[in-house]
Amino acid sequence: MSRLLTVAAGQLGPIARNDSRKAVVRRLIDLMRQAHEMKCELIVYPELALTSFFPRWWMEDREEIDSFFEHEMPGPDTRALFDEAERLKMGFYLGYAELVVEDHQTHHYNTSIIVDREARIVGKYRKIHLPGHADHRPNYPFQHLEKRYFDVGNLGFGAWRAFDGIVGMCICNDRRWPETYRVMGLQGVEMVMLGYNTPTHVPWMPVYDHLTGFHNHLVLQSGAYQNSTFVVGVAKAGVEEGCELAGGSCIVAPSGEIVLRPRSLAGQQGRTIQFRFESRAGSLQANHRTPWSDTAGLTAGAAIYAGPIT
Ligand code: CDT
C-alpha cells in the first residue's frame, strides 16, 4: 500500500537561558506554519525544545530547577502550539522536560510526545539512556547533568498507530544504542522520530570530538537500515549559551541513505530552519525486519535471539 507522509524537521537554533516559554512556543509555531505551507502534515522538533539545554548548568535551588520543567502538557504556555496544530491539522513530535507526580512521588523526566493531526497526544516516551554525569564538575566550560536532573524513563520504547502508519520515538543519546531501534523494529515501526542536543565538544572525552558528525549519521543510518524504518533526527544547532551544538539533522530512508539534510552551512550554524521530505512511509524492505513471518513468531524469536550461555 502506498501512503504518502510529508514530514518537516524543525531544527532549532539556540535558546537562551532567560528566553520565555511563550517566546519559544512562538518560534515553534512559526516553524509549524512554514511546514504547513510546504504541505507537511507532521513536524519533528528537537529534544528539550521549550528551553535552553539546562543540564549544562549545576543548580541546587529546587524552584530554579523545576522552572525548566512542564507541569502539564499542554500547559498555559504550550496550549497555543496545540491550538495552532489543530487549526492547521498538523501533527508534531515535541521534546520537553516533564515534572509529574506518580505514586505520591515527584518525578522528573526528559520526555517526548507524538501529537496527531487532531492535537491529541497519541504517544509518550521518557528518555532511558541519560548521558553525562551527576557530580559537579565546575572546571569544565559546561557540564552535562542529565543523570542529576532526570529519572530514567519508565515507559519503554513504544510504537503507535498514527499518521496511517506505525511510528515510534526516542531521544538523543538513545539513538546510539542498537536496542532502541530494535525494540521498535520488532513492533513493526515504520518511522522513528528523535530530537537531540549534541555538543561538538565533550570536555571529559575530547578524543571523539572530530567524530561527532560521523557518529551521529552512523547511528541514524544503521538504525534505519537494520530495522527497515525511516528515521527523522532533528537537532538544535549553533552556539547556545557558550556551548556549540552540532546540528546535523537529517531524514534517513529504510535503505540507510540520507534522503534529506539542510543544504546550507547557515542551517548548521543555528539559523532556525526546516525542511521536508516526501516518501512512501510504508514497509519498503520489511522482510528483513524480522526473521519470522508473523507476529506469533515473536515469542519464538526471543528464544532464537537469546539462547542460554554455553
Ligand atoms: N542530550 C544528549 O543526550 N546528548 C548526548 C551527548 C552527551 S555528551 C555527554 C548525545 O548522545 O548526543
Q: Specify the residue with its C-alpha closest to ligand 1, atom 10.
A: 173
Give distance in angstroms: CA of 149 to centre of ligand 1: 14
- 203 Cβ closer than 6 Å to some ligand 1 atom: no
Lowest mean pLDDT among 39-43, 87-91, 227-231, 278-282: 278-282
Q: Are 77 and 22 in contact (CB under 8 A)?
A: yes
pLDDT at 269: 42
Q: Interior CA angle at 235 toward 182 and 10, to 5°?
A: 105
Give the mean model confidence (pLDDT) for residues 304-309: 67
Label the pairing between strands 191-196 and 237-240: unpaired
Q: Specify the residue with its C-alpha closest to ligand 1, atom 12.
A: 198
Give distance in angstroms: CA of 269 to centre of ligand 1: 18
- 202 Cβ closer than 6 Å to some ligand 1 atom: yes
- 197 Cβ closer than 6 Å to some ligand 1 atom: yes
Query: In this structure, what C-alpha cell is assigned to residue 38?
Result: 510546504
Amino acid occupying residue 67: S
pLDDT at 290: 57
CB atoms inside a 10 Å sphere around CB 303: 9
The region that residue 286 occupies, defined by phi over 0 for left and psi between -120 and 50 for alpha, beta otherwise, is alpha
pLDDT at 71: 97
Active site residues: 47, 127, 172
Cα–Cα dist 151/72, whole Å:
17
Give distance in angstroms: CA of 148 to centre of ligand 1: 14
- 131 Cβ closer than 6 Å to some ligand 1 atom: yes
pLDDT digits (tens, 9 = 90+) for 265-286: 444 444 445 555 444 444 444 5
